[in-house]
């Protein structure tokens, strides 16, 4: 079974990587989007069960290489990075269309997996976009590892309620964060991944020209909600606290 | 360009998702023309719809008919100056991505604001754990998803849709369904959150009882989820659920940046923690510096007594 896992290299969650002047994210230090690690783990477990190949595919700056090596250490067989100055600052549509061209180039795949969202953009729409562009069925938010049998994939998916969905292969599966628990790579795996090649694609090799991006007119620090900060101290203040709590509840 | 809104929302339990009515109320505030596309599984009773709605009926759960739904909506929306607004729910996100791909439209997901001033339309979108907010100016018809509770809700009264469309075709088969286990902290009005300072069995039992009395649910901070005391669906924080209840009350939560990113937008924030330097106190409306093990029994006594 051939599987592609879409992977985004993101700034670490605790960093503060926006350059407000240029309205660009500073992507010096990057790691694998934690939600994509779940999708990768799912793919590796399916490979262990059914055999096959796991290709990780990312679009990002040169600095995303480290994230792809991390994915190799965690069980991916091949890593492909789409990197091009023309794609810097891509919005969702351009990102998805570049990934689509690469999937067509590297395919066919039986399963394409993505994480439920990225920790920086928090959008959660990429899997659905690609499924529609490729004309493939979508299993959104799979809550446990999909079963693959007889040319079909079955998985319970979170759609407000839990639906057990079945689709013919090839299909796109979006991994919810509950789907699998990412493994930690061993030191040996890390050393091996360090030497693994990262394949490169760019706009020219894909024959892809990006559309104009969304027009970003400003990035502001999120306005903080004003808070009253009435802090009471000790159990002696409990009655006062409870009265204030009733006030807050509006009862 | 004059802007109009097409709110697209799933119907569950007879009601269209509140986030869709919120977008309609925002459109009304802005004086924009707006209508609703309600998506329901055939056989689902629809209890309330606003005037001029289109009801789209799918054979099975709408999530199995995304591409056919996108085609039907495409034929009924304007290629210029329309905002196709969906809730940031699993269904809303899936249909938003599909609409963008099928209609070739730009997409802005996870928005929290919409401003329209004459010809100019702006979407506000938080990023990086809600520490920043981007302003995106629209240049034509655009798909957008909105976080629930971004705008004021609206009561719906009319029932009869203006048009009913039977949507045919499905790429995915629904083999079975079950209600989600556990509680939905994202949709709850009141959320009581347990942190490291509130992890004993006895305290958690009292916390559940307090939540019941307050008409709320119990959520948990990440350490308690990592330890397996609570399931992932209860986790409040950026890597878990981003919540915006009317009332948030935490018990023994220190309030790491990761946690704050998941609750900062809550209506009122109340925090109880024995450590007076806990960061949660910096962003709360009301705080009590005390041990949760002492607070909880007293709180229950009071709640039962009122």
Q: Cα dist. B232→A121, B210, B237, B288 in Å?
A: 21, 21, 11, 27
ipTM of this predicted complex?
0.89
The CA distance from A115 to A137, in Å, is 16
**Architecture, CATH, for domain B4-167:** 3-Layer(aba) Sandwich (3.40)
Rounded to 10°, the helix B292-305/A238-249 angle is 60
Residue of A nearest to B245 (CA): A249
- Whether A164 and B174 lie within 8 Å, measured CB to CB: yes
Higher pLDDT, B98 or B240: B98
Per domain, the residue ranges of chain B are 4-167, 190-305
Residue A142 C-alpha, separation from nearest chain B C-alpha, in angstroms: 11
Residue-wise pLDDT for A123-169, tens only, equals: 899 999 999 999 999 999 999 999 999 999 999 999 888 999 999 99
Neighbours of B42 (CB within 10 A): 10
Of A130, A159, A219, the CB nearest to B132: A219
Where are the extended beta strands (E) located within chain A?
2-6, 9-10, 18-19, 24-25, 31-32, 53-59, 78-82, 111-115, 138-142, 147-149, 152-159, 161-168, 171-175, 199-201, 215-221, 230-233
What interhelical angle do B66-74 and B90-103 show, nearest 10?
60
| Confidence check: pLDDT of B41 > 80 | yes
pLDDT over 60 at B155, yes or no = yes
pLDDT of residue B299: 95
Work out the minimum CA distance from A195 to partner chain B, whole angstroms: 31
| pLDDT number for residue A22 | 59
Q: Does A18 score more than 70 pLDDT? A: no
CB contact under 8 A, A248 and B247: yes
List the one residue out of B228, B208, B209, B227 whose CA is nearest residue B219: B208
- Choose between B244 and B271: higher pLDDT: B271
Q: Is the Cβ–Cβ distance between A37 and A16 less than 8 Å?
A: no
CB B183 within 8 A of CB B233: yes
**What does the pLDDT read at residue A15?**
56
Q: Which residues pair with A10 in a beta bridge?
A: A31
Please tell me which of the candidates A129, A220, A237 has its beta carbon nearest to residue B97: A129
In chain B, the residue whose alpha carbon lies closest to the alpha carbon of A180 is B232
B94: three-class secondary structure by DSSP: helix
**Is the C-alpha dihedral spanning A219, B81, A88, A71 positive or negative?**
positive
Helix A187-195 with A65-73: angle, nearest 10 deg: 130
Decide: helix, strand or coil at residue A146: coil
A149/B contact by beta carbon, under 8 A:
no
Percent of chain A whose pLDDT exceeds 70: 93
Percentage of the residues of chain B whose pLDDT score is greater than 90: 69
The separation between CA A228 and the C-alpha centre of its own chain, rounded to angstroms, equals 37
DSSP string, B6-44: EEEEEEETTEE-HHHHHHHHHHHHHT-EEEEEEEEETT-
- Smallest Cβ distance to B90: which of A140, A214, A224? A140
**Interchain CB distance below 8 Å, B295 and A235:** yes
CATH fold label, B190-305? Rossmann fold (3.40.50)
The answer to whether A18 touches A25, Cβ cutoff 8 Å, is yes
Q: Are B6 and B72 in contact (CB under 8 A)?
A: no
B101 touches chain A (CB under 8 A): yes
pTM: 0.86
| Residues A234/A239/A241/A247 CA torsion (nearest 10 deg) | 180
- Fold of the domain built from segment(s) A2-206: Rossmann fold (3.40.50)
Note whether A160 contacts B89, CB cutoff 8 Å: yes
* Coil vs helix vs strand at B182: coil
**Span B55-87, pLDDT tens digits:** 999 999 999 999 999 999 999 988 789 999 999
Query: Between A and B, how many CB-CB pairs are < 8 A?
Result: 251
Q: Is B59 on the interface with A (CB under 8 A)?
A: no
Average pLDDT for chain A: 91
How many other C-beta atoms lie within 10 A of the C-beta of residue B244?
18
Distances (CA, A) of A104 to A99, A133, A151: 9, 11, 20
CB of A210 within 8 Å of a chain B CB? The answer is no
């Amino acid at each position: 079974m051939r599987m592609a896992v879409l992977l985004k290299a993101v700034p670490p969650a605790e960093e503060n990587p926006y350059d407000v002047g240029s309205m660009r994210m500073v992507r010096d230090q990057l790691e694998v989007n934690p939600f994509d690690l779940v999708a990768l783990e799912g793919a590796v477990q399916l490979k262990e069960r059914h055999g096959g190949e796991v290709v990780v595919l990312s679009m990002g700056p040169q600095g995303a290489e480290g994230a792809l090596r991390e994915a190799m250490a965690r069980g991916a067989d091949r890593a492909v990075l789409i990197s091009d100055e023309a794609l810097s600052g891509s919005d969702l549509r351009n990102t998805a269309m570049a990934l689509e061209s690469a999937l067509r180039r590297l395919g066919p795949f039986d399963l394409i997996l993505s994480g439920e969202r990225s920790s920086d953009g928090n959008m959660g729409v990429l899997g659905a976009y690609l499924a529609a562009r490729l004309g493939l069925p979508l299993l959104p938010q799979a809550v446990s590892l999909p079963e693959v049998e007889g040319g079909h994939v079955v998985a319970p998916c979170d759609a407000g309620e839990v639906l057990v969905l079945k689709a013919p292969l090839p299909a796109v599966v979006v991994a919810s964060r509950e789907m699998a628990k990412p493994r930690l790579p061993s030191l040996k795996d890390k050393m091996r991944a360090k030497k693994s090649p990262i394949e490169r694609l760019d706009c020219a090799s894909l024959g892809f020209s990006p559309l104009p991006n969304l027009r970003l007119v400003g990035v502001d620090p999120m306005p903080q909600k004003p808070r009253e900060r009435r802090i009471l101290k000790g159990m002696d203040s409990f009655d006062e606290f409870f009265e204030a709590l009733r006030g807050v509840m509006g009862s | 360009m004059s802007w109009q809104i097409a709110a697209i929302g799933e119907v569950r339990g007879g009601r269209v998702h509140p986030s869709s009515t919120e977008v309609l109320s925002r459109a009304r505030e802005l004086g924009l023309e707006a209508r609703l596309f309600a998506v329901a599984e055939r056989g689902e009773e629809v209890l309330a719809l606003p005037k001029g709605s289109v009801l789209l009926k799918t054979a099975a759960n709408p999530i199995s008919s995304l591409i056919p739904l996108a085609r039907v909506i495409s034929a009924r929306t304007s290629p210029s100056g329309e905002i196709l607004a969906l809730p940031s729910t699993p269904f809303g996100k899936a249909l938003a991505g599909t609409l963008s791909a099928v209609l070739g439209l730009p997409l802005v997901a996870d928005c929290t604001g919409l401003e329209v001033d004459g010809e100019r339309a702006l979407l506000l979108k938080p990023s990086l754990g809600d520490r920043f907010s981007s302003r995106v100016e629209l240049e034509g018809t655009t798909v957008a998803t909105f976080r629930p509770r971004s705008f004021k809700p609206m009561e719906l009264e009319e029932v009869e849709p203006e048009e009913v469309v039977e949507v045919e075709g499905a790429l995915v088969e629904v083999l079975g369904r079950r209600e989600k286990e556990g509680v939905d902290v994202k949709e709850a009005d009141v959320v009581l959150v347990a942190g490291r300072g509130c992890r004993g069995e006895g305290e958690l039992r009292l916390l559940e009882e307090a939540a019941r009395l307050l008409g709320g649910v119990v959520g948990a901070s990440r350490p308690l989820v990592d330890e397996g005391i609570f399931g992932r669906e209860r986790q409040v924080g950026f890597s878990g659920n981003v919540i915006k209840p009317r009332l948030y009350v935490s018990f023994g939560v220190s309030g790491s940046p990761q946690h704050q990113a998941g609750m900062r937008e809550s209506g009122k924030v109340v925090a109880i923690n024995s450590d007076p330097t806990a960061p949660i106190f910096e962003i709360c409306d009301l705080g009590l510096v005390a041990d949760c093990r002492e607070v909880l029994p007293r709180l229950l006594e009071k709640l039962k007594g009122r």
